[in-house]
Amino acid sequence: MQTSTDPADSNVDLGPAFKWPIRVYYEDTDAGGVVYYANYLKFFERCRTEWLRSFGIDQAILARDQGLQFVVAQIESKYHAPAQLDDELLIEARVVGLGRCSMTFEQIAQRAGLALASARIKIACVDSRRRPARLPEVIRAGFRVRNVKPSPSANG
């Protein structure tokens, strides 16, 4: 995947990839019998949501209690091979960039080790007025445990 020039998104190892298994259902496929391209973005979203849950973050409660939400700010995706009905896929999410108000993920959808789709996705944390907001402390603390600090020159 292409790297970003944003200092907050430098290629650093922020821990192991989070993995989430899924199965392809009929609703995920198109008329040709393969996974519709946009559904990979849904798979990636679900994996990131479960990654947040692994930190104990419920997005509905975060929005209600702290007025914070996560939004996709940028995405670059590539499709390598098709998935089909009933395939078992493994979706991975790895944080490769951490800013004050954003995280950058590299994600991959694979079947039996074969890359099907990949993406680099920048997620921004915003407040209830959709303005950039500092990442929740529980996420930042999780990275501090691994001795990873946000880029000091990063705006978000």
Catalytic center residues: 30
- Cβ of 103: how many Cβ atoms within 10 Å? 27
Q: What is the pLDDT of residue 59?
A: 94
State the Cα–Cα distance between residues 108 and 115, nearest whole angstrom.
7
Architecture of domain 7-145: Roll (3.10)
Closest CA to 113 of 94, 92, 85: 92
- Widest distance between CA atoms in the chain: 48
Q: What is the pLDDT of residue 16?
A: 84
For 85-152, list the strands marked E by DSSP. Answer: 88-98, 102-111, 114-126
Q: What is the pLDDT of residue 144?
A: 61
Dump pLDDT digits (tens) for 27-39: 999 999 999 999 9
Whether 85 contacts 40, CB under 8 Å: no
Rg for the chain (alpha carbons), in Å? 16
Q: What is the pLDDT of residue 55?
A: 83
Q: What is the pLDDT of residue 13?
A: 59
Q: What is the pLDDT of residue 15?
A: 73
State the Cα–Cα distance between residues 126 and 124, nearest whole angstrom.
6
Dump pLDDT digits (tens) for 86-138: 999 999 999 999 999 999 999 999 999 999 999 999 999 999 999 999 999 88
* Whole-prediction pTM: 0.83
Q: What ranges do the domains of the chain cover?
A: 7-145
